[in-house]
Structures are given as structure tokens and as C-alpha cells.
Amino acid sequence: MLRTPRSIEIILAFGGFALAWLRHRPQELPQRFKQTIERLGTTFIKLAQGLSLRMDLLPKAYRDALAELQSRVAPFPGAEAIVAIETAFGAPLDQLFARFDTQPLAAASVAQIHRAEMPDGRAVIVKVRRPGIVRQVGRDLRLLRRIVRGATWLLPGLRRQRPLALIDELGKQLFGELDLRHEAQNVRRLAAALRQQGGLHVPAVIDPLVTADVMVQEFAPGRPVSERFGTPAGEELAVSLLDAYLHQLFVVGAVHADPHPGNLFARDDGRLCLHDFGLVGSLDTLSRQALGRMLEAVIYRDAEAALASAIELGFVAGAFDRRALQRGIDTILAELQGQPLAEWSLAETLWRIAQLGAGEHFRIPRHLLVLLRALFLLESTLRALDPRFDLVGELMKRREVLQTALAAPVAGPAGPRPAGQLALRSVRDLPRLLSHWLQQAQADDGRPPIAIHHRGLERLESRLERVGNRMVLALLALGLYVGGAVLMLHSAGPWLYGVPIAAVVAFVAAAGLSLKLIAAVFRSEGL
């Protein structure tokens, strides 16, 4: 049977969505788009999951629909998994494991998992990458780029969204997830950092049994956290989950970016177990401090501090009106005052701040997109575990964690902060700001980067520009008059009514410029 070319398959799938867009109600479209992506398979599912991070590009309904995408695919034969394992480690299966289950425990679009037992008796899981997945993803990305090039040629307006750059960005992220060595590195990093968290468990990687195709991990039995939703055990797990993420955000600087219920398991000993470390966000020290100050500002409803933190995080780009943005932030924070603390969404508040002015001055740096998505998923999971979970109240109970990021004490309950604390914060930040200023100077051949901001000079600048333009017009007109007079005396023809044509052209052009100059003078209310 003839197989439909992949390019035609992609075009037909999106063409079908376009027809649905013309015929269906808008509220149905996000789910139709999700179904279209699911039909296209692994590559597009993973790309769409990455696209759900781009809150700056997609409406919330579409982001929510894409975030629901699950890679529901049939497992590949266990014999193929055995071949991949023996090829990866260069040894027969019976030398590597005392027991290996050919029937997979779970299967996804990128890899599937088999239970096994090490020769020393340790229970492990073996994650095997799907054969041919790298080649398939590469082929699909090349086809998608060609299709997008054609679409931007037909619809030039699409170029403003830089779709090819977006595909390249998502493709790079996807290839990172396909390499199981990358995931193993993430596991090692977070396992070491979270070892002190008593309520959390990260399954260890079994070294050296890690390649791009295969990764062996400790087997960590547990039950899906969805079974604990709304129960007393769920309330305890919510607290453990919050503690784990505060530690990741403000102490470690590396964040498990996919805390949805499918990746969280409750162990029999009451601990929370994290799975799937393919996507991990990173925060440098300055970003951690700025994020801490941003959360602090939102809790205390301090618009000025929130704007300063947004600038430090890199949310603000280009020239902007500081007072206007501060008023916008103040309006957002004022709307929270009438809400119970348990109903606050810190992630939603941060997103609203980033969208002020329809995004004209705000942007979301790439390294923070993963973080914002993680915060949204975290809040959703916390409130599923405990519907009455008071996120702001719990944050206030954990001042010491925020202090790690801020390097200063956090004052009492939400409300106006004492003047002494504000002064202390300013003194604390001064050495850091001075150091940054000097570093910039060093990077610029020793010249300090000084910027002078002025107000009220725009009108003067505009007037000077108009005066300059009029002077140019006057000089051109004068030159043409002089040139015409010279031509009258020395031109040999051709002639028009006894006058050289070249001189006529010069006089007509000069007259036109003169009339333009006179009109400009009258529009500006005289000389």
C-alpha cells in the first residue's frame, strides 16, 4: 500500500485545522489544534509541548490545550530494546542484568521503560530511546522549515513572529531531550542538591550505564499523586512539593520544569518522588536574587520594587516610560487586595506584569520561559493536592528560604515594609550595583557606561530639525535661482519663447521650493 508523503501529511493536517477555524466556534479551536498535533505524531507533540512554554506567543486557551498533550504511542518490541541496550553498552544483556523484563513498564514518544535487576540485586529501570527517533525528528523539522518558508512567502505578515527562529529554538530543545545523557546530568545535579530535602526523593542514575540511547536508574516504586488529591496525605505532599521547589529556585538554581501530576509519585514512606528530568530550567545567582525580590514585591504589593525587579530580570526592553509601567503594575497589585491570600496566583501576576502595554516594552527572556511554565504547573498541582492551599501564607512562613536569595531579612506579615528594611535593602544592593557598573566600564575600554535621560527636550529637538530643513530648502531655492540666471546669460539652447529651456526648468523648481518654504512658515504661525 502506498504511503502518503510526510510533507503532504503535514500540509493536510494543518489545512484541516484551517478549515475548522473557518467553520467552528472559537472556543472549540484550541482542542481541535491539539488533536491536529496529536495526529502528526512524536515530533509535533514534543514541539507543541515546548511551544506551550511560549506564553508570549499563544493565548492561554491554546497553551492549556498544548500542555495537555501526552505522547500516547504503542511500545516498540522488547527485542528491539535489547538490541539497543547491547549496542549501547557493548555487552550481552545477561552480563549487564540478572533479570530484564521484555514487556515495557511504560511507553512514550521518545523512550520506553523496562524493569530490570542488577547482578548485585538492585532493582532498576532501563529507559531506552525509541529506535530511529532522532532521524525522524530531523526529517520532520526539515519538512516543517520548508513548509513555514512557503507560508511566510504567501503571508509576509508571519515574518514578524520569526517562525523559522522559533522552530530552530524548539528543535534545539527537543534534541536536548532526545539525548538521555542530558537527562542523566540533570538527575545527578538535582539529586545531589535535593538530598537534604527530607520529603523528597530523586531516583539515582546508575553509573556508568548511561548513553545517548539508554539510561539506567534506580527503581523508585510509588503511586500517582492524583490518588492523594484533596486528602490529608495530599496536604502533606503539597508542603513537601513547595519546599522542594523553593530550594530549587533560590538555593540550587536548577528547577525541574515539568511538575505536573504525571511526573510526581507518592512513596509508601510519605516522600514525594520526581520523575522525567528531560527539561530543567537554570537560574544564575543574580536572577535568583531578582526573582526573590519580585516575589517579595508582589507579596507586599510594592509596585516600585516589582518594576525594579522586572528590569533586573530582563523583562523590560528598549526605551520605556517608567511612571506608566509603575502605574500599570500598581493597578495589577491593587486588584489583588480584595482577594483572599489562598486565591492568589503568583505565576499569573508575574505573567500579567510581563504583558503590560501589550508587550510593547516587556519581553520574556528565553531562560525564564521554562521557569514561568514551571511556576504555573506548580501552583496548579499544589491546589490539586490541597484545594485550600495558601501559597502566599506558606511563603511567609518560609522567610529563611527567601533570605537565601535576598541576603536580607524579610519583615513580618504582608503589608507595608518598615523604612529601615527599605534602607537596608538599598545599602545591601549598593556594592552589587557598583561592582556591575565597574565591570561594564572595564568591558568598554575603561569608560563608565553613563546614560543621560532628559525630559522635555523632544520639542526643542523637533524644532531644530524643522529649522535645519527650512535652511536646506532656502539654499536649494537660492542655488536654482542663481543657476537659472547664469543659464539665461550663457545657454545656447534649446529655446522656449526666447528663453533657454534649462533656465525655465531651474526657475520653476526654485519657485516650487519657495512656495513649499512659505507654506511651512505659515503652518508654524509665522517667522
Alpha helices in 108-196 (DSSP H): 133-154, 163-178, 180-193
Q: Which three cell numbers stand for residue 60?
A: 492561554
Burial class (CB in 10 A: 0-12, 13-18, 19+), 414: middle
Q: Letter for the amino acid at 426?
A: S
Q: Letter for the amino acid at 45?
A: I
Measured CA to CA, the distance from residue 499 to residue 508 in angstroms comes to: 13
ω into residue 340 within 30 of 0, thus cis?
Answer: no
Burial class (CB in 10 A: 0-12, 13-18, 19+), 419: exposed
Kind of pairing between the strands at 223-224 and 200-201: unpaired
Alpha helices in 155-179 (DSSP H): 163-178
Choose, from 243, 258, 302, 386, the residue flagged as catalytic. Answer: 258
Q: Which three cell numbers stand for residue 180?
A: 538521555
Q: What is the DSSP letter of 5?
A: P
Is the Cβ–Cβ distance between 302 and 259 less than 8 Å? no
Q: What is the DSSP letter of 161?
A: G
Element (H, E) at 201: strand 200-201
376's CB contacts (< 8 A; 6+ apart) are: 347, 348, 351
Instruction: Count other C-beta atoms under 10 Å from residue 258's C-beta.
Output: 22
Is the Cβ–Cβ distance between 274 and 264 less than 8 Å? yes
Measured CA to CA, the distance from residue 352 to residue 54 in angstroms comes to: 14
Decide if 258 is catalytic. yes
Report helix, strand or coil for 258. coil
Q: Letter for the amino acid at 80?
A: E
Measured CA to CA, the distance from residue 78 to residue 86 in angstroms comes to: 12
Burial class (CB in 10 A: 0-12, 13-18, 19+), 497: exposed
ω into residue 494 within 30 of 0, thus cis?
Answer: yes
Burial class (CB in 10 A: 0-12, 13-18, 19+), 321: exposed
Note the Cα 232 to chain centre separation in Å: 35
Give the active site residues.
258
